[in-house]
Structure 1
Amino acid sequence: MKNIFIPILITGLLISCKSPNDASNETEESTSVELVEDKLSTDADKNFKPIDTEEALISTSLMAAPKDARSGSKVIGYNMEGEFVTLREGDNEFIVLADNPNKEGFNAACYHKDLEPFMARGRELRAEGKNRDEVFEIRGEEMKSGKLKITPGLTLHIYYGPDEMYDPETYEVKDAKLRYVVYMPYATQESTGLPKSPSAPNHPWIMEPGTHRAHIMISPLSKDDKR
């Protein structure tokens, strides 16, 4: 009987000697573990899927358009078979150029319909085998002659990322970001007051100043960047 009593007594003393701080630390550690587990569980529940259907391709590419314009935007681009087609008709001023499903990563764009002649000419020249410099030169000459025209202020929205997975509930592409291009033909640093390179994250700057392709670049921070 005595042998049984001694271990019980020692256990009781150890329990009574535990400080309130020890109990508090134990609770905090437990809470931290639970928070980590909850986050891992949430990430796992995100259930990203590959963009492997035309419906998914259209829905994810529409993320490049302003939210209130997505339902009426026309969608063009390569389908799953590699053909350049109209994927969906639209009835507003926006055209969405869908991601090319046969290229790595994700890159969709949205622009005002008045930019389509300029964009279409670029696609036509590239299909003829012209390189970037040749396309630049030819469209530049056609801008000078009046064959092509860009109204200052027309904007290109680009939704891009390294991954080809999306959330079927929100249509967001994993790790994708938005970048904006505001076309200002022949504008310069002097005519706009903009720097030739970004002064800080999220700041506008002018690219290709003085040319027909002069444009204001705005590369917003990702939603997870707290700077």
Structure 2
Amino acid sequence: MKNWVYLATIGFIFLSCQNAEKSKKNQTEQGSQDQTVVETPKKNPKLLPIDTDEALVATALMAAPAESRAGCTVIGYNMAGEFVTFKEGNNEFICLTDDPKKPGFNAACYHKDLDPFMARGRELKKEGKSSKEIFDIREAEVKSGQLSMGQAGLTLHIYHGKESQYDPETHEVAGAKYRYVVYMPWATAESTGLPEVPLESNHPWIMNPGTHRAHIMITPLNETK
């Protein structure tokens, strides 16, 4: 009788230990699962908002070819909402900063001989003219010789994206992409051999053919990182 009681007691203790170990294991696994569920992706700690004049200049220069950035003139709206010249340059490029009052990011860099054309567009827009009115007015002024667009083949480089944060070390804007424009006033599909619509996502094509604003559009494919 005593042996039976002794064996029953030992068995009860063994089962209790096993149940306790299983319970502890289940709690650990459940805790790991819970932790996985609530874990969220970490944000890039390097990225900062483009909210200073210095940041506007740094990110605008990214629109220019890398080897030309140091010598570019930089113009555009500052954080106070004034259109100013941030930096006088000594080469052929003028960079236009992102407008901090507009969502997303859009900086540009164009050949200095296009500046009369670009400045006229900004002036007409400030007067409240619509896109069509601006197109028609500049068309007439270029035709008459009143407004110069320089020689054919001048470029506009555009650096744009939906985000308005940048890396202060590299000056790259989060998710920004490039697009290029080559102005060819009065050019057509026949005179250039280019299609009027892109054949592929990165294929050059001619937009506004036969007008003062005829230009070759080039949109590079995104880099795969």
Please give the TM-score of this superposition, normalised by the length of structure 2: 0.80
Give deviations 1:157-198, integer Å, cap 9, x for gaps. 000000000011100000000000000001001111101111
| Deviation (angstroms), 1:46 | 5.3
- 1:217 aligned partner: 217
- SS at structure 2 position matched to 1:61: helix
- Output the amino acid matched with 1:62: L
Distance 1:61 1:157 in 2: 11
- Output the amino acid matched with 2:190: E
Distance 1:221 1:178 in 2: 9
- 1:172 aligned partner: 172
- 1:104 aligned partner: 103
- 2:57 aligned partner: 58
Distance 2:82 2:222 in 1: 32
Structure 2 unaligned runs (5+)? 1-9, 11-40
| Deviation (angstroms), 1:47 | 2.0
- Output the amino acid matched with 2:223: K
Instruction: Say if 1:161 and 1:215 are closer, same or farther in 2 by CA, change over 3 A.
Output: same
Q: Does 1:199 align with 2:187?
A: no
Q: Does 1:95 align with 2:75?
A: no
- 2:123 aligned partner: 124
- SS at structure 2 position matched to 1:58: helix
- SS at structure 2 position matched to 1:92: coil
Please give the TM-score of this superposition, normalised by the length of structure 1: 0.79
| Pairing of 1:33-48 with structure 2 (within 5 A) | 44-45=43-44, 47-48=46-47
How many residues matched? 190
| Pairing of 1:121-200 with structure 2 (within 5 A) | 121-150=120-149, 151-200=151-200
Aligned residues of 1:206 and 1:214 also touching (Cα < 8 A): yes
| Deviation (angstroms), 1:133 | 0.6
Distance 1:147 1:66 in 2: 31
Q: Does 1:84 align with 2:83?
A: yes
Aligned residues of 1:46 and 1:167 also touching (Cα < 8 A): no
Distance 1:50 1:181 in 2: 28
Of 177-186 and 143-152, more deviation after overlay is shown by 143-152
Larger radius of gyration: 2
- 2:71 aligned partner: 72
Give deviations 1:207-226, integer Å, cap 9, x for gaps. 0000010000001112138x
- SS at structure 2 position matched to 1:116: helix
Aligned residues of 1:77 and 1:97 also touching (Cα < 8 A): yes
- SS at structure 2 position matched to 1:157: strand
Aligned residues of 1:154 and 1:183 also touching (Cα < 8 A): yes
- 1:113 aligned partner: 112
| Deviation (angstroms), 1:83 | 0.5
Aligned residues of 1:180 and 1:219 also touching (Cα < 8 A): yes
Distance 1:124 1:162 in 2: 26
Instruction: Say if 1:45 and 1:144 are closer, same or farther in 2 by CA, change over 3 A.
Output: closer
Distance 1:148 1:189 in 2: 24
